[in-house]
Amino acid sequence: MKNLSHPFEPVYDKDSEILILGSFPSEKSREYGFYYGHPQNRFWKILVYLTKTEQIPISIDDKKHMLFKNKIALWDVIKSCSIISSSDSNITNVVPTDLFIILSHSNIKQIFANGDKAYKLYKKYCSEHISIEITKLPSTSPANATYSFERLVEKWSVIMPYILVNWHIMRGHF
């Protein structure tokens, strides 16, 4: 069991409208140096599909650009914890992140949890202090083998109303 602090800064800007929260970065993500860095995690592939982005971003800067372009903020519920490997089921000694860092400097309208653990941690540590409700989405982790890519896209499509509004406005359709 290792005691770890979150290694990444939140990704957001003043225009961010959607906040996607994970639990805590996996070992592969920590090695890579950014969110959802495991090559088999389907997070980036799903966002590319839903945002109609031309290709999966490779570099961290390209990933940030895609998030900003679509007004998506990204962070995790856990600031520090004790964890074995990358397993959410082994997380203990949780210290939650201060989500007001993002919420007070952005335009977040909706929060989504990438997986059950992020959802439960938000409900336990954050929902009492934050008036924005959270929507639970199935985890994009490769450990969530019960969900095919197509099924994940179907479930994650609940973020589409937020993305489509931004997509049309940016292209002058409104």
Q: Which residues are catalytic?
A: 41
Report the C-alpha gap between 123 and 128 in whole angstroms.
Answer: 8
How big is the chain, counted in residues?
174
**Residue where the block lists tokens 């970065």:** 25
Residues 6+ apart with CB under 8 A from 99: 19, 75, 126, 130
Bridge-partner residues for 83, per DSSP? 2
Do residues 131 and 109 touch, judged by C-beta distance below 8 A?
Answer: no
